[in-house]
């Protein structure tokens, strides 16, 4: 899952990044509205954390422009104070949730998880495929109720697949959502990670669709 953080407060931006990385997300950062708007307009994100008070272009305008351009990724808006008018403008502009500063990082992460789940049509915090279960709160994976140790790359890949069961996902889409913008994107590495996941999870839960990509079996 790839997250965009748009926050001009350097310290807060750093804290958000640290928390998101620790939670296993891939992170891109912007420090003003113009830069943030550009990234959100051109790169695929699974969720965005967007501050309302930003230099160059304010958060509301950034969000309005994305929505006008049919950019539908879930957006968690950060409001500077507990001002009801900020919340109303944010929701009118198309924010999916908001958080008033100061907030606890844990609450931000919980809201982010819920946004990503809901945008993919999942109500529960556990994602299940056959005998594989991923608890999105703890990032713990079990296979037939036994814990499975995954590297952060493997975990990101599994998480992305579990969020999109039954869909054909191309290698390009996977590389775009599993790596940040600076990563040297080589889609062959995806094949290697899928192979490792199949081995660790001891099952052919993910199908290779020749020439198109991968598809996760849908749970009955």
- Interacting residues with Ca ion (CB under 5 A): 8, 51, 53
CA atoms of 92 and 19, how far apart (whole Å)? 28
Pick 51 or 96: Cβ nearer Ca ion: 51
Minimum CB separation of residue 80 from Ca ion in Å reads: 6
Q: Give the number of other Cβ atoms within 10 Å of residue 92's Cβ.
A: 11
Say if residue 194 is exposed, middle or buried (CB neighbours under 10 Å; 0-12, 13-18, 19+): buried
Minimum CB separation of residue 50 from Ca ion in Å reads: 10
Pick 53 or 94: Cβ nearer Ca ion: 53
Minimum CB separation of residue 69 from Ca ion in Å reads: 23
Rg over alpha carbons for the chain, rounded to the nearest Å, is 18
Minimum CB separation of residue 156 from Ca ion in Å reads: 29
CA atoms of 61 and 51, how far apart (whole Å)? 11
Minimum CB separation of residue 101 from Ca ion in Å reads: 9
Classified as helix, coil or strand, 143 is strand
Pick 19 or 133: Cβ nearer Ca ion: 19
Classified as helix, coil or strand, 23 is coil
Q: Closest residue to Ca ion, Cβ-based?
A: 53
CA atoms of 133 and 209, how far apart (whole Å)? 23
Closest residue by Cα to residue 180 from 9, 11, 10, 25: 25
Pick 53 or 130: Cβ nearer Ca ion: 53
Pick 103 or 183: Cβ nearer Ca ion: 103
Pick 33 or 74: Cβ nearer Ca ion: 33
Task: Note whether 8 and 31 are within 8 A (CB).
Answer: yes
**Exposure string over 48-74, b if 16+ CB within 10 A, otherwise e:** bbbbbbbeebbbbebbbbbeeeebebb
Minimum CB separation of residue 68 from Ca ion in Å reads: 23
């Amino acid at each position: 899952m790839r997250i965009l953080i748009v926050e001009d407060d350097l310290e807060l931006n750093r804290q958000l990044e640290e928390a998101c990385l620790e939670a296993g997300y891939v992170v891109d950062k912007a420090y003003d509205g113009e830069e943030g708007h550009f990234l959100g307009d051109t790169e695929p994100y699974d969720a965005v954390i967007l501050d309302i008070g930003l230099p160059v272009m304010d958060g509301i305008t950034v969000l309005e422009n994305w929505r006008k351009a049919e950019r539908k990724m879930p957006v968690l808006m950060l409001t500077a104070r507990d001002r009801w008018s900020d919340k109303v403008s944010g929701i009118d502009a198309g924010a999916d949730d908001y958080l008033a500063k100061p907030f606890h990082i844990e609450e931000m992460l919980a809201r982010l998880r819920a946004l990503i789940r809901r945008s993919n049509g999942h109500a529960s915090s556990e994602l299940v495929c056959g005998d594989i279960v991923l608890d999105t709160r703890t990032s713990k994976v079990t296979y037939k109720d036994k814990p499975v140790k995954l590297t952060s790359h493997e975990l990101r890949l599994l998480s992305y697949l579990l969020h999109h069961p039954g869909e054909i996902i191309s290698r390009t889409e996977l590389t775009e959502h599993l790596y940040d913008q600076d990563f040297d994107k080589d889609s062959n590495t995806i094949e290697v990670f899928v192979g490792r996941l199949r081995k660790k999870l001891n099952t052919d839960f993910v199908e290779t669709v020749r020439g198109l990509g991968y598809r996760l079996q849908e749970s009955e």
